[in-house]
Amino acid sequence: MYTSRMLLLLVRHAVTPVTGKKLTGWLPGFSLSEAGRQRAAELAETLAPAPLKAIYSSPLERCRETAEPIARSHKLKVKINQNLGEVHYGEWQGRSLKSLYRTKAWAELRARPADFRFPGGETIREAQARGVAEVERLRVKHAGEVVLVCSHADLIRLVVSGYLGLAIDLYDRITVPTASVTTLWLGDARPRLLNLGAGEKFDELWRRFS
């Protein structure tokens, strides 16, 4: 399956004023907070030594605004990719997380997430298939390169669990902090998770792929 190698950096967007409070989903108009913009700038500095060849982003503002400082430091353009966007939460988007926690549907999601369909949206399984399929397309397109994708916590967790062979029902055991970097090595053999949700510098890793 893996005939082309790629080092993939999965970056979760930085914080917005409603991160952790509201399920914004695909709703427009949710930009980074001041703290989020500062963290995005710090992340760009951390990733400055990375030999990036391409940067892709979810279409949503919070991801684009996180990816843009990184792209500027590498003199690259952010390529918008719909398939790397947020899970389609359907009618749940825009609702507060507190209100969702009290619903029977939330309990069903927590108990059996794999095939839970968000009302008017997609299933967790469909979101994973979308994300992994797009990463596979990028892996072929960017063989031998280091590529960054700025996306969302759930999609990153689903992509990681897909490559690790982790049951979808267990995907939410993975934690991906805001403005963090998760690194996957997709090579000719089995994929490898090099780090998960890290914020530290990666000098040794960059030297290996420069």
Which tens digit of pLDDT belongs to each residue from 2-15?
457 899 999 999 99
Answer with the residue of higher pLDDT: 204 or 136: 136
Confidence check: pLDDT of 83 > 80: yes
Domain assignment present for 142:
yes
Confidence label for 1 from pLDDT (cuts 50, 70 and 90)? very low
Domain assignment present for 1:
no
Over residues 86-102, the mean pLDDT reads 96
Confidence check: pLDDT of 76 > 60: yes
Confidence check: pLDDT of 22 > 60: yes
* pLDDT tens by residue, 55-72: 999 999 999 999 999 999
Domain enclosing residue 184, as ranges: 6-209
Domain assignment present for 151:
yes
Domain assignment present for 69:
yes
Contact partners, residue 24, CB within 8 Å, separation at least 6: 16, 18, 30, 86, 93, 94
* Per-residue pLDDT, 96: 97
* pLDDT tens by residue, 140-194: 999 999 999 999 999 999 999 999 999 999 999 999 999 999 999 998 778 999 9
User: Per residue, what are the HEC states of the chain?
Assistant: CCCCCEEEEEEECCCCCCCCCECCCCCCCCCCCHHHHHHHHHHHHHCCCCCEEEEEECCCHHHHHHHHHHHHHHCCCEEECHHHCCCCCHHHCCCEHHHHHCCHHHHHHHHCCCCCECCCCCEHHHHHHHHHHHHHHHHHHCCCEEEEEEECHHHHHHHHHHHHCCCHHHHHHCCCCCCCEEEEEECCCCCEEEEEEECCCCHHHHHHHC
Question: Domain holding 201: CATH number?
Answer: 3.40.50.1240
Domain assignment present for 18:
yes
The count of structural domains within the chain is 1
* Per-residue pLDDT, 190: 86
